[in-house]
Amino acid sequence: MKTVKRKKTTQKRRTFYVTTPIYYVNDVPHIGHAYTTVAADVLARYKRLRGYETFFLTGTDEHGQKVQQAAARNGIDPQAHADRMVVAFRELWSRLSISNDDFVRTTDPRHTGVVQEVLRRLQAAGVLYTASYEGWYCLPDERFWTEEEVREGRCPECGRPVEHISESNYFFKMSAYRDRLRQHIRRHPDFIRPETRRNEVLGFLDRPLEDLCISRPRARLSWGIPFPFDKDYVTYVWVDALVNYISIPGYGRDERRFKKWWPADVHLVGKDILTTHAVYWSTLLMALGLALPKTLFAHGWWTVDGEKMSKSRGNVVDPNTMAGEFGTDAFRYFLLREVPFGQDGDFSRKALMIRYNSELANDLGNLFSRTLSMIERYTGGRIPKPNARTQKADDRVLAASARALDRTVAREMDRFSFHRVLREIWTLVDKANRYVDQNAPWELAKDGRNIARLETVLYNLAETLRILSVQLYPFIPETAERMASGLGWTTPMDRVRMPRDNGWGKLKSGRTIQKGRALFPRMENEPSPPQPVPGSQKTPPKEMPMESTGIEPSTISIDAFRKLDLRVGRIVSAEKVTGADKLLKLAVDIGSETRQVVAGIATKYTPDEILGRSVILVANLKPAVIRGIESRGMILAAGEKEVEALATFIESVPPGSRVK
Ligand code: MSP
């Protein structure tokens, strides 16, 4: 029999291994935990989209003093405490659409066994020794500090009082690796990101490096992994925890699997735990003869309404509450859009509300809903066929922007610059919104001769939205799925691949669309106190005192004019008033609030046509009730009897800007 020799494929499989820190189970998760985990999820989803086989690991750190103390406070044993607390993390990750491939608990035998194996190997390598230690110790942080490091009897890291202790322990010869580590950091510019953090670590390594105490006497702390060769000691919780990054992919258990994943592509950590990763972990890996992770990325910290987040201040942000109020995707979006990854930032409900309403509900949500409404109305609810003969330059701009976006996203994702990725995605959203206004499909629909052009325009919008759904998927997966399926795209998002599926023109004509509910229903702003505007009166004038100006009644003084509070308003919803042909009920966003306005413009405009438009609102007009509906303000338009044209703007202006 003839055997067919197959050519061995030498192409390396593309893999991506990303981790989060493993979180202490001494307390419930907060926004800091959610932040890293959402960021890791975005990377994992993005790499899967790009065809990488991805391993995304998160989990819980269940040993050590903090957990033992928390359990004692609750009057239960530490394992029962951990079993109880881990549920809060698992549930939150499921609520936040976290797509981790595994979940490590450091009390799990597949981890504890590896920690002991690591200790044996370190012992065999001759890098451990016992010594008696006398010095300062921060109990809650479980860290030793030197005389010089302690600040007035307090821990330099957390500020809590340190204790003087004297005990015998196992030490790891960390100091021996200082030069090698410095060299590694210098030679690998991507090893520690961002740059400022890299410099900090190099600065830290300019000073002499101490050895690391890696044991705790059982007599003082019993809740830890026992030393395999000395029953009087348990493993220092940080050594235990760091080993999770290798124990779960198979170190010491499944070498083939381990080789597939190690070294990790990126460990995401908060800035406060960079040293433990960059120094302790790296030197331990060197001692084990293992490669170092390719990147350690340290992100910044969130403050809340400008203040440090802490239990005692009572301002800890519960991610469950935010996801409940704004939705998972909006919360995910905000975390990565608001602050450049790597920098500190401030969280506030107000800022979240503003981004929700303007970027998600208005820009993206409206683009989607108006496009689908027009497809429903003008092309029978099916994706139309684009017509080559009716192509115009602005169509090419849209397609070219979608292609350029792909390149930018790839570049910025590799830099962990999530906020830039989102900003770039929104430039395409903005372009598409402008494209609607410029091409005015409602006008094209009025004349049968323009049908081919109308179909091209609507196809281009649908295809832009579909491409947006792919680019947005890592960030707002549930919404992206709804967008794609609403447009009749049948591949589930977790099977979509770039670049195969995000080339222009892949959306098939003839598919039935499904509008569904709004992607991001607008949320009512909380009433905020009226903002005093320079040059305007604090209370609206009751009447215009024209007579008192002493000049002709047909002119008014500048002061009289200034009493008008004219504002840029964005129409965020529009609907017909039943039984009134001329009236539309509008919701107009004026920055600080959303006004309900009844406007006599229905003879000229359909709700779709004016959705998203910026108009001029007379904001301090006395409220009136029209057809039983309260109207708070008036929008300006030209026309004698009937409205001919709405007053709007050439440039885009933020809602609430003063018009003068
Ligand atoms: N168990 C260790 C990590 C071991 S990793 C091998 C630990 N756990 S933790 O529960 O304290 O979680 C710490 C993570 O939450 C860190 O990445 C830290 O930076 C992050 N945050 C804690 N407060 C934070 C903010 N206010 N803002 C952003 N992240 C914050 O440390």
Q: Is the CB of 269 under 6 A from ligand 1?
A: yes
Q: Which pair of structure tokens corresponds to residue 129?
A: 């020794």
Longest dimension (CA), the chain: 113
> Taking 60 as the threshold, does the pLDDT of residue 533 lie above it?
no
Give the model's confidence band at 337: pLDDT under 50 very low, under 70 low, under 90 confident, else very high. Answer: very high
pLDDT value of residue 11: 55
Q: Among 11, 16, 85, which Cα is nearest to 49's? A: 16
Token pair in block for residue 341: 């990854």
Contacts of 434 (CB under 8 A, 6+ apart): none
Question: In a 3-state reduction of DSSP, which class is residue 411?
Answer: helix
Q: What is the number of the ligand 1 atom nearest to the C-alpha of 242?
A: 6
Lay out the sheet containing 345-347: strands in order across. 307-308, 302-304, 345-347
State the angle between helix axes of 366-378 and 451-472 in degrees (0 to 180), rounded to the nearest 10.
140
Using alpha carbons only, give the angle 322, 323, 329 rounded to the nearest 5 degrees.
125
Dihedral sign, CA of 376, 380, 385, 387? negative
User: What's the rounded Cα separation, in Å, for the pair 457 and 237?
Assistant: 60
Cβ(272) to ligand 1 under 6 A? Answer: yes
Cis peptide before 249 (omega within 30 of 0): no
Tens-place pLDDT, residues 97-127:
999 999 999 999 999 999 999 999 999 999 9
Nearest one of 119, 116, 161 to 138, comparing CA atoms = 161
DSSP 211: P
For 270-312, the pLDDT digits (tens) are 999 999 999 999 999 999 999 999 999 999 999 999 999 999 9
As beta bridge partners, residue 215 has 235
Number of Cβ within a 10 Å radius of residue 124 = 9
Helix, strand, coil in percent for the chain, rounding step 5: 40, 20, 40
**Which atom of ligand 1 approaches the CA of 309 most closely?**
26
Dist. CA 148–CA 210, nearest whole Å: 13
The finding on whether 241 has its CB within 6 A of some atom of ligand 1 is yes
List residues bridging with 137 in a β-sheet: 144, 163
Q: Which amino acid is at 352?
A: L
Give tens-digit pLDDT for 492-519: 999 999 988 989 999 999 999 999 999 9
- The protein residue with its alpha carbon nearest to ligand 1, atom 6, reads 242
Q: For residues 141 and 158, is the Cβ–Cβ distance under 8 A?
A: yes
Long-range Cβ contact pairs of 90-94 (< 8 A, separation 24 or more):
92/29, 92/33, 92/34, 92/319, 92/320, 93/37, 93/58
* 77-93 mean pLDDT: 97
Place of tokens 């979180």: 23
Name the phi and psi angles at 386, rounded to 5. -75, 145
Whole-number Cα distances in Å, 645 to 600, 605, 635, 637: 12, 9, 11, 6
Ligand 1 neighbour 280 (Cβ under 6 A): no
User: Taken in order 378, 383, 384, 388, is the CA torsion positive or negative?
Assistant: positive
Report the atom number in ligand 1 closest to the C-alpha of 277: 6
Beta strands in 236-277 (DSSP E): 266-270
Residue 537: per-residue pLDDT? 34
What mean pLDDT do residues 385-401 have?
89
Pocket test for ligand 1, best of 281, 301, 317 (most atoms within 8 A of CB): 301
- For atom 7 of ligand 1, the residue with the nearest CA is 23
Residue 526, pLDDT score: 56
Both structure tokens of 82 = 């951990």
> If we measure between CA atoms, which residue out of 531, 529, 533, 563 comes closest to residue 545?
563
- Rounded distance from Cα 477 to ligand 1 centre (Å): 25
Provide the 3-class DSSP secondary structure of residue 338.
helix
> Which residue puts its alpha carbon closest to atom 29 of ligand 1?
32
Res 92 pLDDT > 80:
yes
For 561-608, how does the pLDDT look when each residue is reduced to its tens digit (9 = 90+)? 777 889 999 888 888 888 888 888 888 888 877 888 899 888 888 887
Flag whether pLDDT at 7 surpasses 60: no
Q: What is the CA radius of gyration of the chain?
A: 31
Identify each DSSP E strand in 49-111 by its residue range: 53-61, 102-105
Ligand 1, atom 21, residue with closest C-alpha: 32
Atom index in ligand 1 nearest the CA of residue 269 equals: 17
Does the pLDDT of residue 529 top 50, yes or no? Answer: no
The string of pLDDT tens digits covering residues 29-57 is: 999 999 999 999 999 999 999 999 999 99
Residue nearest to atom 23 of ligand 1 (CA): 32
Highest mean predicted confidence (pLDDT) among 482-491, 555-564, 568-577: 482-491
User: Hey, what long-range contacts does 639-644 have (CB within 8 A, 24 or more apart)?
Assistant: 639/604, 642/603, 642/604, 643/600, 643/601, 643/603, 643/604, 643/605, 644/604
In short, whether 143's Cβ falls inside 6 Å of ligand 1 is no
For residue 656 the two structure tokens come to 């609430």
Residue 168: other Cβ atoms inside 10 A: 12
Amino acid 564: pLDDT: 85
CA of 308 to the centre of ligand 1 (A): 14
Distance of CA 268 to the CA centre of its chain: 14
Q: Going by C-beta distance under 8 Å and a sequence separation of 6 or more, which residues neighbour residue 417?
A: 340, 341
Confidence at residue 644, expressed as pLDDT on a 0 to 100 scale: 81
Tokens of 415: 């830099």
C-beta of 21 in contact with ligand 1 (< 6 A)? yes
Can you tell me the mean pLDDT for 408-424? 98
Q: What is the pLDDT of residues 179-220, one digit of tens each?
A: 999 999 999 999 999 999 999 999 999 999 999 999 999 998
Neighbours of 162 (CB within 10 A): 23
Count of CB atoms within 10 A of residue 513's CB? 21
535 has pLDDT over 70: no
Pocket test residue of 19, 28, 61 for ligand 1, highest count of atoms within 8 A of CB:
61
**Residues whose CB is less than 8 angstroms from the CB of residue 178 and which lie 6 or more positions away in sequence, other chains included:** 205, 208, 209
Query: Is residue 457 helix, strand or coil?
Result: helix
Peptide bond into 194 cis (omega under 30): yes
Q: How confident is the model at residue 555 (pLDDT cuts 50, 70, 90)?
A: low
The confidence score (pLDDT) of residue 554 equals 57
What DSSP designation does 26 have?
Answer: T
Question: What are the tokens at 88?
Answer: 């809060």
Token duo for residue 520: 């991001």
The pairing of strands 102-105 and 53-61 is parallel
